Structure 1
Amino acid sequence: MEISARNAFKGTVKKIITGAVNDEVELEIAPGVEITAIITKTSAEALGLQEGKQAYAIIKASDVIISID
């Protein structure tokens, strides 16, 4: 796979919460480090996502905002 996005993290699908339209996919990219994505149910099915399967979290954003209290 080649992709222009610089922020790609390989991990393991830890949990999938299936909704009516979208699925919440939790990917563990390092021990104790998780990224959660909301994707369409159709996309999750097309990718064959299931717990324990390897996948990539690819982050493409024009802005990253940092805040403090």
Structure 2
Amino acid sequence: MAITEINVRNQFRGKIKEIIEGSVVSEVDVETPHGIVTSVITTRSIKDLDLKVGSEVIALVKSTEVSIAKIQ
């Protein structure tokens, strides 16, 4: 499958560093050039996508809310 067009602007290419698998949902840590991006997805999706540590992926980040905290 190739992604040719998508409306999500925040895309981070990386490799899966760690998968913490749960019975229903799992955490997937993706190592990108900009740092680690963590996704919580269903365990079923991990199996359906055949995701494994070392798999090359694109983390797509879409949010309707962005919180900001001031650094002092």
* Residue 45 (1) aligns with residue 8 (2): no
Unaligned segments of structure 1, at least 5 residues: none
SS of match in other structure, 2:16: strand
5+ residue gaps in structure 2?
A: none
Alignment RMSD (CA, Å): 1.4
Distance in 1 separating the partners of 2:21 and 2:54: 16
| Counterpart in the other structure of 2:16 | 13
CA distance in 2, matches of 1:16, 1:63: 26
1:6-50 deviations in Å (ceiling 9; x for gaps) = 00111000000100101100000117x100110000111111100
Structure with greater proportional strand content: 1
TM-score (norm 2): 0.87
1:54 corresponds to: 56
Q: How many residues align?
A: 68
2:52 alignment partner AA: Q
